[in-house]
Structure 1
Amino acid sequence: MMNSFWWGHYGAQNRGINWMSWEKLAMHKNDGGMGFKHLSTFNLDMPSKQGWRILTSPNTLIAKMYKGKYFPNCEFFDSSPGHNPTFVWTSICNSKFILRVGCRWRIGDGNNIPLWNENWLVDALPLKPINNIDLTYSGLMVSDLMENDSKEWNVHRISAMFDQPSAARILATPLYPSVTDDRRLWRGESKGEYSVKSAYRICVQKLIDTSHMRVNGNWNLVWDIKAPPKIKNLIWRICRRCLPTHVRLRDKGVECTQVVSNAVNNNNNAQDIIFHILQQLSKDDSAEWKAVRIVASYPDSKTQEPSARKWRKPMAERVKCNIDASFPANSDQVCIDICIRDEHSAFILAKTEWLNPKSEVHIGEALSLLSALDWVYELQLGHVDFELDSKKVIDGFHSSAKDLF
């Protein structure tokens, strides 16, 4: 019905010609589809949002009610529909796989994170213990892999329990002393909160195999065109051979007369039509095109290259702290450079600091800002302007919402 509505014209009575199946239309735009929703898949994302609330807010009234009725003696992920469940609870149970894939732990003290069968590493891949590991390790928490007197990994214990790749992944996971509470995060959003949009992407990847229907190519060239949506839609239809050309109509078993315009005569396909139209347009606009080329080649053209942004000194009685984080390819650490200058551009202080382990770019930039804030606070410099080149960190710093990553 939805496919007929999309391809139909002139009211609901005209079903039109279904040039493409709904499965192909529902593919992501980057794969050659239109990005429409699979309703059956989308309907799983809504109850999984309720499951996320039960998982992350266990003290709410509805979470306590579900736990008391359906999983009083186990955790949410270990629960089952049970006897005579409600439709809502059945739907939540059917969508739990989305939460398993999409959520992970933010490591605080590690006392609430089970070591096994939980996503607490960034890559969410399972850990591989060594073959002779004791079965008594099954009840361990992530905190058991840390040092007792500091928030650092216990390298000896980790190396004794896991194979080399798993141990390297654990040791590459940063631990931040400022983060003290364990909390579940949604990996699909930078804020760490569940969203139906990101859950839908996970659900499609798990349930629907579109690898055999994808059309390779940079489809962003079509969707990023600065043109009205109907023009983008037309170009997409041309690329996907969804126009009523003579060849395509004949493929659909539609008889059409040979008395057609020159553009679509002689069994032309969609590509021939668009090339014909472009050829006509190029002839009409040839004079304008030549004029543009002449202006572009003129040596005294006023077109200027964008100038590099210059450093600006701070206002009176203030200092400026410039911060930069670099990620050397031959190192497993993040290099932080901090430079402080006064209102006359005179050098005051500078330092370089190395952080271990290497992290993602925006995390490294955020840590460099945190290090600079601590250092400036210790120096008691008064009014300070901070300058760095990470827009994501700057926006997150000024945002009222917390970025849980």
Structure 2
Amino acid sequence: MLRKGVRRVIGDGRATGIWDDPWVPSEMPTTLTRPKFLTFTAEYVCDLLVEDGSRWDEDRLGVLFDEDIRQRILSIPIDVDLGRDRWSWDLDRSGQYTVKMGYRNAMMETWGQFSLGLDIDEEATTRFWKRLWKLPIISRYKVFLWRACRGILPTVESLEERGMDIDELCIMCNNAHEDVFHALIDCPELQLMWVNANFDYSSRLYHANILEWLVVEAGGWKDEQMAFLAVAVYHAWERRNKKKFANEIIKVEELWPRVERMMEEIQVAAFTDARNVMELPKVKWEKPEYPFMKLNVDAAGSKSGGGAMGGLLRNSTGCCDGVFTSCVRFPSDPILLEAMSIKKGLELAKLKNCTHVLVECDSRLVVDMLHTPCDQASSLNAICKDILRFTTTMIPEESLSRKVCDMSKASGDWTTIEAIKPPSPEDTFTGAVKVNGFAVLLRNWAKVSSSFAEIRGILNALHNHMAWSINMRRIIIESDSLQATKTITE
């Protein structure tokens, strides 16, 4: 199990074998294959670094590895502050292994293969799951209904399927074999609860499985009816357990009134929370004050692996002074890509001789890591520390280097924060590239894989065009890919 997620994080590279340890980023940690002939000694990762250990020796990498492996290695930030190499849990961004994360990843394959053997529409089932998790009730009831639909409650039938020898009937009616549907829905001792309900649940009589019933019938229900059902089956299971383990009997007549009281408490709590929530002001992109430049970056992963990133550098008048775009084969994690886009944006700012830079991105996690550096052995932490080191070489004064990493406007969601200034009506026309809408364009990259090359070609042409250096406001693009043009103009 550990082999699926454990990987070496490179510090000085002296304790990690090139051919013996998993250290190159991949979907699953693996070791590299040693070439039959080596033109120079290369046993440890430090042998692949330049003399001072600050960066990779690209000439050596080109001799030893193919282009794919070389690009993966170059994507690894050298964490010189880490000192010795460390082990990291690659399946969590913190790099730390916990029993909870280990169990979750160990069970992912099992859960993915789990099937109830029901002949129900897959799209309808997906819609049901999405609706379930959005119900206006506390998570306890939603998780319980999910478990009931999956059939993973410890009923007599479920325990027998796991190899336990339990020769018992339903503890409530003592007249039928106990499976999940019987225990929560079909038991004769529960029927009065459904009769007393404020909603019509009579369609349960035509089904024998909870998931099948809800996928087929609940599409016409209001969210309130489904929320009441989730609370009702929870109390039905609680009643069953109290009788089975504590010999405590709760009358069936008391069940629905309990459900109503609980729903009233939930609604009152939700109303109180809604009144106490402060309405956040709408945040718009603002021009930086002179002498600052503002760097806006964004990134997105690709379904086929890797991802794309880009950014705009604008001055105190709001005009674009520079732009960058980049595609990488690895990583595909959007959080890592966001951090890498910040580093590339700062490199662009340095080329433009900027001394005062404000950075805005939409990843709160990256912002927090930059504000509070730590010693975690993770790829994200290594990239963030590399960014902080770069700011010290970019701007010697400590006060200014701190301002470079002032990313106070990160919200984690472009839909709730207008971080890109919208173009004025005179700047928008058919076939035009919305220069100020760059972040939205990057989000579309991951959705239009067939036109990815066309989009990349357009942006590279813009990147190399002199228009950027003279602040042209209008650029007309002609392309033979209708989908690519449509994606950009949207």
TM-score normalised by the chain length of structure 2: 0.42
* TM-score for the superposition, normalised by structure 1: 0.49
